[in-house]
Amino acid sequence: MEQTFISATILLILITDPLGNVPVLLGLLKNVDPKRWARIILRECAIAFVVLLIFLLFGRQILGVLRLSEDTLRIAGGVILFLIALNMIFPGSGARMVDPLESGEPFIVPLAIPLISGPSAMVTAMLISGNDPTRMLEWVGALVITIATSSVVFLLANRMQKVLGPHVITAFERLMGLVLAAISIDMLLKGLASYLKALG
């Protein structure tokens, strides 16, 4: 299926998982002065945007330097996304890349990287841009919306957890995990099919 602006945006939002990261964010900022929360969140989201933008704009060049094919990247991306989805559905069973018990004010690590712009988001940014480099403005727009969504959710994190409660947030995360699992399997199968076709 051809990647569209809407599907690319949804995919990026699912992978960055702002709702699922709310409890981790609150854990990271619990010892920080609440007056600094907004500044920290906006700074880290800006750093994450720059990181993902680099992978979006120069993904093909990065692949060339590493001598990797897009099929290989698609297969690897599908595996990584499935592990992330597995952890969203069954917490503790998949890949958790940050420690919510870390103390001190976060700077770049672990909030910007890997909480927002983790390996799965970087791989996805490269795959999206690789599908049709001529529509780069659309992909940048999708990335802008994704980071803006994360920023808004993070800024409202404390209020959201109080209003919705941890159970509702967990339910949303597991639902997003199911969708992401389906996307990851589709990505994996397409990568394998393309690779096998090239061998044949």
Beta-carbon count within 10 A of 145 CB: 17
CB-based contacts of 86: which residues, under 8 Å, 6+ apart? 93, 94, 95, 177, 181
Any idea which residue has 């770049």 for tokens? 108
Burial of residue 37 (number of CB atoms within 10 Å: 0-12, 13-18, 19+)? middle
Q: Which of 91-105, 128-142, 163-177 has the lowest mean pLDDT?
A: 91-105
CA 191 to the chain's CA centroid? 20
CA–CA distances in Å: residue 62 to residues 11, 51, 132: 21, 13, 16
Output the pLDDT for position 94: 53
Report the SS3 class of residue 107: strand
| Positive/negative CA dihedral, 75, 76, 79, 80 | negative
Output the pLDDT for position 92: 66
What pTM was computed for the model?
0.79
Provide the pLDDT confidence category of residue 30 given band limits of 50, 70 and 90.
Answer: confident
Smallest CA-to-CA distance from 63 within 142, 130, 132, 143 is with 130
Report residue 30: phi and psi, to 5°.
Answer: -65, -30
What is the rounded (10 degree) CA torsion for 155, 157, 159, 162? -170
For 89-132, what is each residue's pLDDT tens digit?
887 655 555 554 555 688 888 889 888 998 778 888 988 988 78
What is Dmax (Cα atoms) for the chain? 60
Output the pLDDT for position 132: 85
